């Protein structure tokens, strides 16, 4: 399954969302997560 998460708002909102994404990935490793964010927030999600 592929999931697109759209977070195109403020940095704080994205920072609060990242633990949720990590939890979803740990519970369902078969899910392919993609994040759509602003350029200035992309550094948060890059691993």
3-state DSSP assignment of residue 10 = coil
pLDDT of 9 reads 75
Taking the C-alpha atoms of residue 42 and residue 45, their distance in angstroms, rounded to an integer, is 6
Predicted TM-score (pTM) of the model is 0.69
Number of domains in the chain: 1
Confidence of residue 31 (pLDDT cuts 50, 70, 90): very high
Task: Indicate if the pLDDT at residue 2 is higher than 70.
Answer: yes
> Does pLDDT of 3 surpass 80?
yes
Tell whether the model's pLDDT for residue 20 goes beyond 80: yes
21: containing domain: 2-44
């Amino acid at each position: 399954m592929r999931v697109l998460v759209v977070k195109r708002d403020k940095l704080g909102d994205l920072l609060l969302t990242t633990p949720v994404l990590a939890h979803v990935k740990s519970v369902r490793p078969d899910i392919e997560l993609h994040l759509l964010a602003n350029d200035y927030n992309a550094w948060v999600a890059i691993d």
